[in-house]
Amino acid sequence: MKKTFSRYNKCLQGSTEMALVEHKAEKQVCKEADNLKNEVAKLQMKQLQLLGKNLTSVSLKELEVLEQQLSEGLLSVKEKKDLIGILPFQEQLLMEQLEQSRLQVEELRGFFPSTDHLVRSYLEYYPVERKNSLMSHNVRGPDVTCACNLEKGDSDTTLYLGLPSDHHKRKKPERESHSNDSESQ
């Protein structure tokens, strides 16, 4: 029996604690609602004052501040209206200036010789031939092969300075030419 009473008391205490927490939450919500109602009332009063209504409770100082705010707002609206009214005229003026500039450019182009025959580029006169390409261009796909032949021994690399042409052939080694020169002397 004692166990039953103790369980009953625990449940009773738990329910009173829950009721107390809920009551505090309700009070907080009511307090916030009252604050919001007061804020809405103040804003509505301010709106009426800005519209020029219900000014009986407003002091002279507040009326002067209100008048200043209204004057600044009115000037801002007038400036924006004037700016919007001027924009089409400015756009038309700029379009006329652009057209005049185009005419001047066309007139100035008439003074210079025609540039229809443009100077050909270097590569048009001397096309680059790819004789010694390391990669075979006939092979397509991931199995690109190397078409270079490596000889055993010394590497024969020559650097040619100047324009590419067919008359640049590989020179004979200088050792042979010196030996021929020494025999003729």
pLDDT digits (tens, 9 = 90+) for 130-180: 555 454 445 444 444 444 444 455 566 777 677 766 554 555 555 554 545
In whole angstroms, give the CA distance from residue 68 to residue 54: 18
Q: Domain ranges in the chain? A: 1-58, 59-110
String of DSSP letters for 121-177: PHHHHSPPP-TT-SB-TT--SS-PPB---PPSSS-------S---TT-PPPPPHHHH
Residue found by looking up tokens 């003074």 in the block: 111
String of DSSP letters for 28-44: HHHHHHHHHHHHHHHHH
Q: How large is the average pLDDT for residues 68-77? A: 92
pTM of the model: 0.33
